[in-house]
């Protein structure tokens, strides 16, 4: 590098940031290690720092008044300096250079423009700029915003410049100790209509999708917020994503973690922490192209991948063993003429747009006609969904990486031959003569079906009457008005006949009995065609009645997630109230972790998988579902395990919904299970999402230890499981909590992190507990963990030996009496 003069370094400063600060860098005033460059408003600061446990020195930019140090940009991320000898200088052409004590240039800026009077300043936006004093201050020769690291700040552009070829993208740090470019990169791609991809080790890992005017179609729709406004610009010169703050006094950033999780954060002055607004908590369907071509990925479904209508698996054998990579193919070839039509799919992540074309001015009908005229066109959709929709986006070649979203997404029209359409789909496009033909056909079918149904009804009534007269069963057929309530709700619950369930469970035989709980008994059932069921039968002695039954039916019918048990239907006939679920062959979690033999089947990898699955299910209930649901009875016996030991939350009889912005509620009826209920719920009847967080913390510690919180006793200190875990944590012996069945086969750091998360979840005060989205990030090392305080129900004392005479006078202690309150279930 020419024209640089390096002054000798006399003092080496490694970890101490001095108060010496500059407002600009010039040829005569370079920036040395130990000095900082401060923005005019004191928002950002630039200087030398050492990340994490590293001794290396890097030149970076961070928020000036936020602790701990929050670095948003690093200059020499690939070339650290081993000591405090670094100097940042500028030459007479306006080029920055970072040099060490040997006068070696470890990093430099570059620009084709030569400045006559260069000056380097740090703006309050966090942008380091080089300008020429001869021109306007807004005339930048070079800016750090063009070279992002792992952080996107307001005003930064993520995308490319079509004129200069500049491509701005995010790349993660390698680790908290190393800001070098990691294996995760987030960038826009130019092929077809621009879309956002996340690459991992240079392979597509996740596709956020194309911009539809409001959001990227691969993300669930975000609620309007008072913090920021996002936009996507695409013209002849540029294509980029950018966001700006609604309130400039708020600090906000988007950061990509070393493991690839993208988080949008906002600084909370009140709590002194970075709060997560949103995070791309990927599920299985976010793996790019998981289901292959012409298929739809639905994470809430028990079978994740589904061929689109009119398509079949390319390789049936592979498909049946959950290898969906081969995708699907058409059952019938396209006619490639005006007889072809389109099937509409709602609320999906649009397929990969790499092979797409677009037109910003076409209407949706013009888009349809354009696609129909081109035999290679496979689908079409609106380019922009604002104001009723506008523009045209059409696909050619295979449709890849589609996902069914619980919220958001977009409508797409997929081309199919007319022979594959249903009657009501076909008649939208057929001519008048064909419409008449369909009308006649449908009319004939309707009349015939009506006759068949009438005959079937008469036969069925006769059989019911005969069954009543025979006296072979004590259960009589009678419809309950509750059915009307269920049908009035917007559900698709299947109503089973009692006779079908009686036959399926062998008349509720003890041989078929799977278990028993507060609701009643659970039986295994098998329908005539071989489908296995789990039938929950309400006991006449249960504290749960018809209202709890209706609550569970209506609530869980509206909830669909991979980590929630699937309700297949219900049955209400006179005395009987039955819930019919998918059958879980491995039964409940408590039958594994608390069993001396079966606990050995759950190694640490399986347990950690179960912990994460429960957490994701709760994130869905608390945040991502249409309703905000508080479970209120979360415990190990209500966590069911499928064939692959995937956890599924069950038993929603006590669950409650919160509406709108409501975050908590109160009840006079305390119902639940002792050992899992939060203190504010037990004492005052207050429940919120933090009540479920407490229960989750108890379950997490039980999974790790293999011990029940309820009934656990630390003989030395008379502690419950929470107190015992806290004492071990405080004394630096957390690993002693581990279940002995695990032996030495576990990751110590992962276990310790899980114990810390568990203790954070069981804090006495609800506000001290994290929410479940933060818990998921904590479990996977994506969020710094605060130190836990003393957990709830913590009493550490030596209890003196009891006086035998006092026992005679007072046989029941107050503690024993209070515990009996919680034996309701």
Please enumerate, by residue number, every residue annotated as part of a binding site for ATP. 536
Angle (nearest 5°) at CA 367 between 365 and 369: 70
Q: 567-573 and 576-582 as β-strands: parallel, antiparallel, unpaired?
A: antiparallel
Reading the block at residue 115, the tokens are 């400045």
Beta strands in 165-285 (DSSP E): 167-168, 170-175, 178-189, 195-200, 203-210, 228-234, 238-245, 252-256, 262-268, 273-279
Reading the block at residue 735, the tokens are 């690993």
Residues 86, 188 contacting (CB under 8 angstroms): no
Reading the block at residue 490, the tokens are 């917007």
Q: Distance (Å, rounded) from C-alpha 432 to C-alpha 465?
A: 49
Tokens 């630390």 belong to which residue? Answer: 714
Q: Distance (Å, rounded) from C-alpha 769 to C-alpha 145?
A: 36
Q: Distance (Å, rounded) from C-alpha 740 to C-alpha 180?
A: 40
Contacts 24+ apart (CB under 8 A), 536-540: 536/578, 536/579, 536/580, 536/581, 537/508, 537/576, 537/577, 537/578, 538/576, 538/577, 538/578, 540/575
Tokens 């009506």 belong to which residue? Answer: 450
Query: What are φ and ψ of residue 478, in 5° steps?
Result: -160, 125
Reading the block at residue 582, the tokens are 């998918």
How far CA 345 is from CA of 290, 357, 487, in Å, comes to 19, 20, 25
Residues 425, 345 contacting (CB under 8 angstroms): no
Query: Which spans in 255-321 are helix H?
Result: 316-320
Task: Give yes or no: 661 in active site.
Answer: no
Residues 649, 632 contacting (CB under 8 angstroms): no
Tokens 């005052």 belong to which residue? Answer: 684
Segment holding 666, helix H or strand E: strand 664-666
Phi-psi region of 723 (alpha: psi -120 to 50; beta: other; left: phi over 0): alpha
Catalytic member of 132, 150, 401, 633: 633
Which residues are identified as catalytic? Answer: 633
């Amino acid at each position: 590098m020419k024209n640089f003069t390096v002054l000798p370094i006399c003092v080496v400063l490694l970890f101490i940031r001095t108060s010496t600060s500059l407002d600009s860098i010039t040829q005569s005033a370079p920036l040395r290690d130990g000095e900082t460059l401060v923005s005019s408003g004191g928002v950002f600061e630039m200087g030398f720092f050492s990340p994490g446990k590293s001794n290396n020195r890097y030149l970076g930019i961070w928020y000036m008044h936020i602790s701990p140090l929050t670095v948003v940009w690093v200059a020499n991320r690939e070339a650290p300096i081993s000591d405090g000898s670094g100097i940042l200088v500028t030459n007479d052409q306006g080029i920055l250079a970072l040099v060490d004590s040997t006068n070696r240039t470890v990093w430099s800026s570059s620009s084709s423009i030569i400045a006559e009077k260069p000056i380097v300043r740090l703006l309050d936006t966090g942008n380091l700029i080089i300008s020429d004093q001869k021109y306007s201050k807004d005339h930048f020769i070079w800016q750090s915003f063009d070279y992002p690291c792992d952080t996107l700040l307001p005003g930064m552009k993520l995308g490319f410049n079509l004129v200069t070829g500049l491509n701005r993208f995010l790349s993660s740090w390698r680790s908290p100790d190393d800001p070098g470019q990691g294996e995760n990169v987030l960038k826009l791609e130019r092929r077809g209509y621009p879309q956002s991809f996340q690459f991992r080790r240079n392979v597509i890992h996740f596709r956020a999708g194309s911009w539809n005017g409001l959001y990227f179609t691969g993300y669930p729709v975000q609620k309007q917020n008072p913090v920021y406004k996002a936009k996507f610009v695409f013209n002849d010169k540029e294509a980029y994503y950018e966001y700006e703050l609604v309130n400039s006094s708020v600090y906000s950033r988007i950061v990509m973690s070393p493991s690839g999780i993208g988080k949008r954060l906002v600084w909370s002055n009140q709590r002194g922490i970075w709060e997560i607004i949103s995070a791309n908590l990927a599920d299985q369907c976010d793996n790019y192209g998981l289901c292959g071509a012409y298929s739809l990925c639905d994470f809430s479904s028990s079978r994740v991948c589904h061929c689109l209508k009119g398509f079949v698996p390319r390789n049936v054998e592979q498909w049946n063993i959950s290898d969906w990579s081969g995708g699907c193919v058409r059952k019938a070839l396209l006619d490639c003429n005006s007889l072809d039509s389109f099937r509409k799919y709602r609320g999906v992540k649009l397929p990969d747009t790499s092979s797409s074309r677009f037109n910003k001015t076409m209407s949706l009908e013009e888009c349809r006609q354009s696609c129909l005229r081109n035999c290679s066109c496979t689908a079409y959709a609106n380019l922009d969904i604002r104001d009723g929709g506008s523009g045209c986006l059409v696909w050619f070649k295979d449709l890849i990486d589609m996902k069914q979203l619980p919220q958001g997404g977009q409508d797409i029209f997929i081309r199919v031959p007319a022979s594959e359409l249903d009657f009501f789909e076909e008649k939208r496009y057929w001519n008048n003569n064909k419409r008449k033909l369909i009308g006649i056909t449908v009319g004939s079918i309707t009349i015939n079906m009506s006759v068949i149904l009438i005959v079937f009804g008469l036969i069925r009534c006769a059989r019911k009457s005969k069954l009543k007269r025979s006296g072979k069963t004590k259960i009589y057929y009678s419809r309950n008005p509750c059915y009307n309530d269920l049908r009035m709700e917007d559900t698709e619950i299947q109503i089973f006949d009692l006779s079908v369930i009686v036959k399926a469970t062998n008349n509720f035989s003890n041989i078929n009995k799977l278990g028993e709980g507060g609701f009643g008994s659970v039986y295994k059932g098998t329908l005539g065609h071989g489908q296995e069921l789990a039938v929950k039968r309400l006991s006449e002695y249960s504290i749960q009645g018809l209202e709890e039954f209706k609550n569970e039916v209506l609530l869980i019918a509206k909830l669909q997630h991979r980590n929630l048990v699937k309700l297949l239907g219900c049955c209400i006939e006179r005395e009987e109230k039955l819930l019919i679920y998918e059958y879980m062959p491995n039964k409940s979690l408590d039958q594994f972790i608390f069993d001396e033999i079966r606990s050995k089947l759950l190694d640490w990898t399986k347990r950690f998988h179960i912990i994460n699955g429960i957490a994701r299910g709760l994130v869905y209930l608390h945040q991502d579902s249409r309703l905000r649901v508080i479970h209120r009875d979360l415990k190990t016996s209500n966590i069911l395990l499928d064939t692959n030991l995937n956890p599924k939350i069950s038993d929603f009889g006590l669950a409650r919904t919160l509406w709108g912005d409501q975050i908590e509620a109160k009840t006079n009826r305390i119902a639940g299970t002792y050992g899992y209920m939060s203190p504010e719920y037990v004492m005052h009847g207050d429940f919120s999402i933090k009540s479920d967080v407490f229960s989750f913390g108890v379950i997490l510690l039980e999974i790790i230890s293999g011990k029940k919180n309820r009934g656990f006793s630390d003989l030395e200190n008379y502690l419950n499981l929470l107190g015992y875990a806290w004492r071990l944590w405080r004394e630096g012996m957390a690993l002693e909590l581990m279940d002995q069945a695990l032996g030495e086969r576990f990751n110590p750091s992962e276990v310790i992190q899980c114990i810390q998360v568990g203790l954070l979840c069981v804090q006495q005060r609800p506000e001290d507990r994290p929410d479940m989205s933060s818990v998921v990030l904590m479990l996977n090392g994506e969020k710094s963990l605060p130190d836990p305080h003393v957990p709830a129900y913590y009493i550490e004392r030596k209890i003196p030996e009891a006086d035998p005479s006092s026992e005679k006078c007072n046989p029941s202690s107050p503690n024993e009496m209070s515990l009996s309150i919680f034996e309701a279930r």
